[in-house]
Amino acid sequence: MGHVREALAYFKSERVYQQLFWQMRKKYESIGRIGGTVSTKLFSMEELRVISAFFGMPVEKLAAKSSISIKAFEQQLQATRFDGISLKELLEAYFGEELISKKQIKLNRQAEIQEFINELKEKHTILKFWFDYLAKRNADSRWILRLAETDKKVFEDWTCKLALAISALPVVAERLPMFAQRITADPHAFDLNENLGKLLLHVLAVHSSKMEDGAIVMPTSTEDVNELLQEYHIYRDDLLNFVTCAGFWPRTQMVLYTRCGRRQQRRTLS
């Protein structure tokens, strides 16, 4: 540990190493290993003089090169009093955190989201068929996984509503706003231009098992969307932006109050 602290003191004493090490870190995150090069054009002649001193070569020779080999830097590190310290170890100590490649970050994120999806699948078993499909990470469902990653709490709430929707699908014709009102107490909850409405369509498309090359066929036209919904006895309300219903007679009750001196009279009009 003392050996690492000594190395840090040396490399932090020269500002040029901050830029050089940052470029090395970016390269590691990109390719997932120690390797690649750093362009010499990123440094002034004075900065190259410091780096060339580390390599034990004339600055003119280093300046003539188009790049600095990161692997060569690591090999030179072992030829100094800091031998035994790997370049990855040095960079992690310099930046105070573990170096992780972009590929590994992506894999870690995918594993985290999959664990979250598995938890939802155990909680909402009625949607198991949908969660199993999401696990395949087909192109049509990647946007859903991004939603889950962006806000887990909101996505969990949406999942709860979707589970209720699938468990209480209409057995006779029902308007979409009426269905949304019955399931969520909000007639606009499943509006098809909103995320929850799009998720409902995806769930229904997976449930209907209309596949092509292992992936579901999502409806794209208005006719296709209507056909999918009608397969589950759900009909879009395209006439007005209101819930339409029939067979109801309005009854209005008005309560009027009038003051007569200190007394109040209550009159009901029906």
Write out pLDDT tens, residues 38-92.
999 999 999 999 999 999 999 999 999 999 999 999 999 999 999 999 999 999 9
pLDDT tens sequence across 166-179: 999 999 999 999 99
Task: Quote the radius of gyration of the chain (alpha carbons, Å).
Answer: 33
Lowest mean pLDDT, pick from 2-6, 27-31, 219-223: 2-6
pTM of the shown model: 0.67
What is the pLDDT at residue 178?
A: 95
Give 256's strand partners: 267
- Single-letter amino acid, residue 236: R
What is the pLDDT at residue 209?
A: 82
CA distance 116 to 128: 13
Q: Kind of pairing, strands 234-235 and 174-175?
A: parallel
The mean pLDDT value for 212-240 works out to 85
H or E element that contains 118: helix 102-123
Secondary structure class of 126 (helix, strand, coil): helix
CA distance 26 to 99: 9
**Domain spans in the chain, listed from the N-terminal domain onward:** 2-100, 103-235
Band (3; pLDDT cuts 50, 70, 90): confident
Secondary structure class of 68 (helix, strand, coil): strand
What is the pLDDT at residue 37?
A: 96
CA distance 41 to 58: 17
Q: What is the DSSP string of 205-229?
A: HHHTT-EETTEE----SHHHHHHHH
CA distance 170 to 269: 38
